[in-house]
Amino acid sequence: MQSLNYADVTVGDSLPELPIDLTVSLIVAGAVASQDYTPVHHDKSAAQAAGMQDVFMNILTTNGLVSRFVTDWAGMDSRVTDVAIKLGTPNLPGDTMVLTGAVIEKNDQEGSVTVEVTGKNAWGNHVTGTVGLILPREAN
């Protein structure tokens, strides 16, 4: 995949939508991979005892999916410098989270861009926030 160059990006550019099917496997694997063994992320009965209908995604998995979304757009020569996200509604199995984003800022001195990201599911916004990136200045 070709990486984007800093000069090719304009404030207002939209990233292509990324729908992510939310499965029990994705939610549990994300929790285990991030060493989050809190029962509500892998045990349905524990999640139900906590008032949820099923297991739900942890913030570290969401953080990884947001980073993947932005770096898939920017390319392998980009470098994430900052991720600032806030969780809203839970991600539950059987739903789909659709990630969208747009470039909201460019810093010519640093060669950096800031992307605003939203991840929505059937309940509303699961995640909102920004991702900062450094992009290469020349063609690869």
The residues spanned by each domain of the chain are 6-134
Does the domain spanning 6-134 belong to CATH 3.10.129.10?
A: yes
The pLDDT profile of the chain, 140 residues, written as one tens digit per residue, is: 678 999 999 999 999 999 999 999 999 999 999 999 999 999 999 999 999 999 999 999 999 999 999 999 999 999 999 999 999 999 999 999 999 999 999 999 999 999 999 999 999 999 999 999 999 997 55
Handedness of CA 117, 15, 82, 68 (dihedral sign): positive
Q: What is the pLDDT of residue 1?
A: 60
DSSP letter for 125, please: E
CB atoms within 10 A of CB 86: 9
- The whole-model pTM stands at 0.94
Q: What is the pLDDT of residue 52?
A: 96
**Whether 12 contacts 103, CB under 8 Å:** yes
CB atoms within 10 A of CB 93: 18
d(CA 108, CA 39): 45
Tokens representing 115 are 């992307």
**Whether 99 contacts 65, CB under 8 Å:** yes
